[in-house]
Amino acid sequence: GNSVTQMEGPVTLSEEAFLTINCTYTATGYPSLFWYVQYPGEGLQLLLKATKADDKGSNKGFEATYRKETTSFHLEKGSVQVSDSAVYFCALSDRGGGFKTIFGAGTRLFVKA
């Protein structure tokens, strides 16, 4: 079945550092890929998405490129801020799953001033 694996956290960075959170997936079809962010005590917010190979999703300085050859969708940001401290979830959804979203375990990011 479909699955998502993302790097374990927590990840601790200083403000303005470069961020990479690795994510790989397993899927039998052609899934859409997502990154969600969850701030403390809140629900899930969609951060960015990509629907086909080589698509780049971007939002608020975050980027991720859908790499079918490596089945990856790594999240990057060039300069993190304290306000980026949150838990980030990589996820996929596809036609075979019928809108069921499969999530990774989440990566907690701490950004120090």
Partner 1 sequence: DAGVTQSPTHLIKTRGQQVTLRCSPKSGHDTVSWYQQALGQGPQFIFQYYEEEERQRGNFPDRFSGHQFPNYSSELNVNALLLGDSALYLCASSSKWTSSWEQYFGPGTRLTVT
Binding site for partner 1 (CB under 8 A): 31-32, 34, 36, 42-46, 49, 51, 89, 93-95, 97-106
Euclidean distance between the first and the last CA atom of the chain, given in angstroms as a whole number: 41
Nearer to partner 1, 89 or 111 (CB): 89
Nearest distance from C-beta of residue 46 to partner 1, angstroms: 7
> CB–CB of 19/86 below 8 Å?
no
Nearer to partner 1, 41 or 113 (CB): 41
Nearer to partner 1, 103 or 110 (CB): 103
Nearest distance from C-beta of residue 101 to partner 1, angstroms: 5
Nearest distance from C-beta of residue 78 to partner 1, angstroms: 25
Nearest distance from C-beta of residue 68 to partner 1, angstroms: 16
Beta pairing partners, 75: 21, 64
Beta pairing partners, 51: none
The Cα–Cα gap between 86 and 81 comes to 11
Give the list of residues 6+ apart from residue 62 with CB closer than 8 angstroms, or none. Answer: 35, 47, 48, 75, 76, 77
